[in-house]
Structure 1
Amino acid sequence: MVIAAPASSSGKTTVATGLMAALAARGDRVSGHKVGPDYIDPGYHALATDRPPRNLDPVLCGEERVVPLFLHGAAGADIAVVEGVMGMFDGAADSAGFAGPGDPGSTAHVAALLGAPVVLVVDASRSARSVAALVHGFCTYDPRVRVAGVVLNRVGSDRHERILRTALEDTGTEVLGAVRRRAEVHTPSRHLGLIPAAERAGEARRAVRELGALVAASCDLDAVAAVARAAPPLVGEPWDPGAAAAEAAGAAEARAGSRAPRVAVFGGPAFTFGYTEQEELLRAGGAEVRTVDPLSDESLPEPTDALVVGGGFPEVHAAELSANAALRSEVAALAARGAPVAAECAGLLYLSRSLDGAPMCGVLPADATMSGSLTLGYRSAVAVADTLLARAGTRVRGHEFHRTVVEPRSGPRPAWQWNSRGGEGFASDTISASYLHVHWAGNPAIASRFLRAARAHSEGMSR
């Protein structure tokens, strides 16, 4: 089932995460998914379900991969809960010529691709009988999307709940629950949304348990499970990282008896932005993947053949990252030796000379600072030259999500170009660093190209 809402900040994450935790607590095997490129909500889903976080994004991965990725992520689960994004019909801004329900990448778009019933979360804090008109509109706006029930959120009192339920009787839409206003159940936020679960592990686990208890007490879980069971069967095969990696490689590239390349992937509280399928593709391609937390680990695994530095909030941890001079020195030395290094957004900042004046790795001839404006949105990008991750002319869909600025914006060989300003980021045969987040499941050739470089470096170092 898909958890949607009329608008952002209606309580989708509260209800979706709470449902995952409540259903899991009663013994169901629950799979959590998030519509769109969001990295933070899936971290809370993972705590609620004890399964890897999963995203479903037809813009980044293509419509044809949504069902396979869903089947892959939900394998072995009894119930899959898909949290939507923004308002139910809101998605990519450029929807010219798009014939699907809602905008491309919207909650409605994904619900239609999955054929999944929708549970609509309505913020009822400032409405009474008018809620019926709102729900009726969402139920009838597009017949390709089926709203199977409503969860009323931020209900003020018993009387308020009775008014809302009575009003909704005429719409024929089942009320699955009514969640009261509870200030003590809170997931704190900052400039880019919720604080990632990895940054507040103890508090996050407690918040997820409280959300589960709140939703269990406020919703009819049997009725919710019945909605999920009413979803039609899906036709298709699960996405297979091994098959995707093999197809992208074209032919087996690992030489008999050669050592599997070891790839270090940054993680921990400062680097929480990454898609689960990225590491699955690396492992399926023959790599040994090791996680490195630059806030606590002072060295890279020995040996390290390649490095992936994803996104996150390094600006929050700039002083600690800078203080770990031993690791910064190792990263700089690794890059100088020609080991492949792929960096996105936070990784771009970490590889720069400085971040808000704090020394970073100095791999890139650039400096990063916080800015007063948010840069956010999908990007259609092209590789303007051969780089570590792509051949010249390769087109990808990615997204930006940051409040920082890097000067200069690009090097002599940019990583990508996605607007009229020219190139973005820094690239070479062994380095790719830019603000662009790319979902490797939608572009498995990137993983193949990166692994080819890692393998070549590993073999070169062993001679």
Structure 2
Amino acid sequence: MTEATRVPRLVVAAPASGSGKTTVATGLMAALAGRGLAVSPHKAGPDYIDPGYHALATGRPGRNLDAHLCGTELLAPLFAHGAAGAEVAVVEGVMGLFDGVSGPGGPGEHASTAQVAKALRAPVVLVVDASSQSYSVAALVHGFASWDPEVRIGGVVLNKVGSGRHEELLREALDGAGVPVLGVLRRTDAVGTPSRHLGLVPVAERRAEAVASVEAMAERVRTGCDLDALLALARSAPPLPGGRWTPEAAVGTAATAREAPAAGEAGPLVAVAGGPAFTFSYAEHAELLRAAGAEVTVFDPLRDEALPEDTAGVVLGGGFPEVHATALAANEPLRREIAAFRGPVAAECAGLLYLARELDGVPMCGVLDATARMTDRLTLGYREAVAVSDSVLAAAGTRARGHEFHRTVLEPGAGAEPAWGLVPVSSPGGGGRTEGFVRGRVHASYLHVHWAGAPELARRFAERCGAWTAGAGRAARA
């Protein structure tokens, strides 16, 4: 049994979105870290933004646990990988506790917080918005505690409590419910975590303010919750069976063989976009690229006027280029270099827009003959995907699971060689379409894919970067 499988852990969930999960989970992470504990932060679902606040609260990478993108069988191994060396782990849930999508986990449960809690054998802390109820809270908590016997509701945190008398009524109602009250947070506007069209503003765009927000959340939890009781609940989690996911094993079992660099020889350098405009990334992506033999470095398209020296491949992930379009356009030297770059490029969502001819009327890199603009329509949901064209990222016919999350539209939405054929998970019988672009060594798409669920993508990309570097070197020596 590995060390990580014994890590104390709990899941912070709620009856519905907007109940205060993020405040309680992030505040609890920061409060426990403030006690000197090594806290492992996790987020159920495909969210990129909350993990940034979790990382700020704990000093460790925020990691996602997503049953659809990675598979139910990887939830516990990925958790064990992320929690290695931690003294306690906190998992923030997604939506309502039992809200998911239809899938192999059962109608409505697949990719839910409940599914994650069961896979991790972790007790659940239910955060209840008590602002408009008193005795009814007992029926609500009893219903959630009894709905699924495999999900253990270990305690309740009452949020948005209006007064001392309101708290008394709530506690009195819950006395007979069999679920202890582990915290009471009063109604307040003190915690400022500004939102915009896709959720909270990422940490990278408001670092100083984000630090203050996390500390405010921590103070609320410290003063309103019983930290000792929450720790005891986390420590009541039983040992987690099974092994730990490792990026080395993941790329080692991928289908495509690749020659490792010779001893003492550096692998191909992969430059990954970061900074305020490109904040959407899963920690496992860089780990998988390194395990596949690549070196990984980060560059900021807002500030860096050139790609890192000896760049063999570029990864342009997700983020908010629409918010920073003018500044991205102003960095003409980097746009020109990316337009002229001939090595492998993997771009998703924000990266797709950055490679377009223009975004909201301002020039981008012009690698793709397409234009992008903001709209009022949100495109959101899990997708089943199959690679339509051979590319540096995927062989034609490769199947993957992904997620779309954007308010922009690209015209045209697919090139002559599309990247993916997509089917919404919610309607597997229809609604299929092609999407994205494969152009030379460029693979660009709206689809977010978690490479831990498809490690062959990381391995193939690293392989193509190595092959291109070797070819460029031979050409230079010729």
TM-score, normalised relative to structure 2 = 0.94
Show the 5 A alignment for 1:33-432. 33-92=42-101, 94-95=102-103, 98-99=105-106, 103-248=109-254, 251-256=257-262, 258-334=265-341, 337=342, 339-419=343-423, 420=431, 422-432=433-443
2: CA distance, partners of 1:354 / 1:416: 22
Give me the whole-angstrom Cα distance separating, in 1, the residues matched to 2:257 and 2:412: 39
Kindly state the Cα deviation for residue 429 of structure 1 after the two structures are TM-superposed.
Answer: 4.9
1:462 aligns with 2:466: no
The whole-number CA distance in structure 2 between the counterparts of 1:394 and 1:250 is 12
C-alpha contact (below 8 Å) 1:112/1:145 kept by paired residues: yes
Q: Which whole-Å CA distance do the structure 2 matches of 1:267 and 1:8 have between them? A: 29
| Aligned counterpart in structure 2 of residue 451 of structure 1, from 462, 466, 478 | 462
Q: Which whole-Å deviations, capped at 9, do the CAs of 1:421-463 have from their partners, x for residues lacking one? A: 5310001451110100000000000001101110011111111
Structure 2: distance between partners of 1:421 and 1:248: 27
Residues 19 and 443 of structure 1: is their aligned pair in 2 closer, same or farther, counting only changes over 3 Å?
same
Residues 277-325 of structure 1 show CA distances to partners (whole Å, capped at 9, x for unaligned) of 0000011111111101111111110111000000001000000000000
**CA distance in structure 2 between the aligned counterparts of 1:296 and 1:206, rounded to whole angstroms:** 25
TM superposition shift of 1:254: 2.3
Deviation at 1:267, TM superposition (A): 0.5
Provide the residue aligned with 2:4 in structure 1.
Answer: none
Query: Is there any run of 5+ residues in structure 2 with no aligned partner, and where?
Result: 1-9, 424-430
2:24 aligned with 1:15:
yes
Q: Is residue 266–residue 295 contact of structure 2 (8 Å, CA) maintained in 1?
A: no
How far does residue 259 in structure 1 lie from its aligned partner after superposition?
3.6
Check whether the contact 1:29–1:77 (CA below 8 A) recurs between aligned residues.
yes
Q: Specify the code of the residue in structure 2 equivalent to 1:78.
A: E
Q: Distance in 1 between matches of 2:150 and 2:177?
A: 18
Stretch deviating more after TM superposition (245-254 or 15-24): 245-254
**Deviation string, structure 1 residues 400-428 (Cα, Å, up to 9, x no partner):** 00000000011011000114453100014
- 2:426 maps to what in 1? none
The structural deviation recorded for 1:245 is 1.6
Q: Give the 3 Å change call, closer, same or farther, for CA 461–99 of structure 1 in structure 2.
A: same
Comparing 254-263 and 159-168, the one that deviates more: 254-263
C-alpha distance in 2 between matches for 1:103 and 1:328: 44
Q: Distance in 2 between matches of 1:161 and 1:430?
A: 61
2:449 matched residue in structure 1: 438
Contact 2:301 2:334 in 1 (8 A): yes
Taking structure 1 as the reference length, what is the TM-score of the superposition? 0.97
* Count of equivalent residues: 457
Secondary structure class of the residue paired with 2:254: helix
Q: SS in structure 2 opposite 1:418?
A: strand
CA–CA distance in structure 1, aligned partners of residues 60 and 117 of structure 2: 21
Q: Which amino acid aligns with 1:454?
A: C
Structure 2 residue matching 1:391: 3-state secondary structure: coil
Letter in 2 for 1:452: E
C-alpha deviation, 1:255, in angstroms:
4.1
Cα RMSD of the aligned pairs, angstroms, is 1.2
Secondary structure of the 1:207 match is helix
